[in-house]
Amino acid sequence: MLTSCGNYQRVLKGDDNAAKFKVADSLYQLDSKGKYRKALKLMEQIVPVYRGKPQAEKLMFMYANTFYELEDYFLAGYQFERFETSYPKSDSVEVAAYKSAKSYYELSPRYSLEQKDTYKGLEKLQVFVNKYPNSQYREEANVLVKELREKLEKKDIEVADQYLLIANQVGSYKPAIESYENFISDHPGSIYREDAFYGRIDAAYNRALSSVPQVVEERLITAKGYYNQYIKYYKVGARREDADALLLEINKRLSVYEVTTTEN
């Protein structure tokens, strides 16, 4: 009866803040998007009124969670952060912290786009896991952390691959080599790490081929060193056959210098 259409409109347009709180709470408990939207209209009117009052803690959590349930993750993340700051001893603070972090996870775009929100979500989730090591949400949070990390890794490996593709067209391989090296350093446990090791060999070999004669031998030796590092970690790697094919070409070209040295 409290949430009937006629009564809702009267409360919404009226001045009775207690009635607005009661109807908003009733709508919120019905747990549906349509009811959340109606509850939100009431909450928006009374949040400033209840600030500092005993009912504010409950209201502010409902307010934040309503945005979350309506998938407005930007405002949900912000409001849950405010709740954490305002009510650090609340029984709901752990849930608020998790949902705040998850809101930023939800804002994370596809890997090919700007990843500012991905970094923010990763940071928030890691803070949550560290702060609440025994939380019931810990396992799920770790899954989300893994997913965001893999998204950043995919972004970084594709950037490196793009540098290599550009280098194949314009002949400047140093940015690709540096990008693969940064990937190896920044993502030691990545599923794309082997690709980075192989890409570095490929880029270094092609850099040697496109170099002036005076430095070709030196750069071929560098490429061979990258192959040796690849083998150290991936003796049975998925790119082993491709890497061995590159090594064959490297050794074939280095043999020319060995013959020249012997003749001299």
Residue 78 is assigned to a structural domain of this protein: no
15-42 in b/e form (b: 16+ CB < 10 A) is eeeebbbebbbbbbeeeeeebbebbbeb
Residue 224 is assigned to a structural domain of this protein: yes
Residue 36 is assigned to a structural domain of this protein: no
> Residue 207 sits in which domain range?
171-264
Number of domains comprising the chain: 1
pTM, rounded to two decimals: 0.80
Residue 51 is assigned to a structural domain of this protein: no
Residue 257 has a pLDDT of: 83
Residue 213 token pair: 């004669």
Residue 180 is assigned to a structural domain of this protein: yes
Which of the four pLDDT bands, split at 50, 70 and 90, describes residue 260?
low
Which of the four pLDDT bands, split at 50, 70 and 90, describes residue 238?
very high
Residue 200 is assigned to a structural domain of this protein: yes
Q: CA Rg, the chain, in Å?
A: 29
Q: How confident is the model over 61-117, as pLDDT tens digits?
A: 999 999 999 999 999 999 999 999 999 999 999 999 999 999 999 999 988 788 899
Amino acid at 219: R
- Residue 247: CATH number of its domain: 1.25.40.10
Q: How confident is the model over 188-226, as pLDDT tens digits?
A: 999 999 999 999 999 999 999 999 999 999 999 999 999
Residue 35 is assigned to a structural domain of this protein: no
Residue 249 is assigned to a structural domain of this protein: yes
What's the CA gap between 141 and 158, in Å, rounded?
26
Which of the four pLDDT bands, split at 50, 70 and 90, describes residue 2?
low
Average pLDDT for 3-17: 85
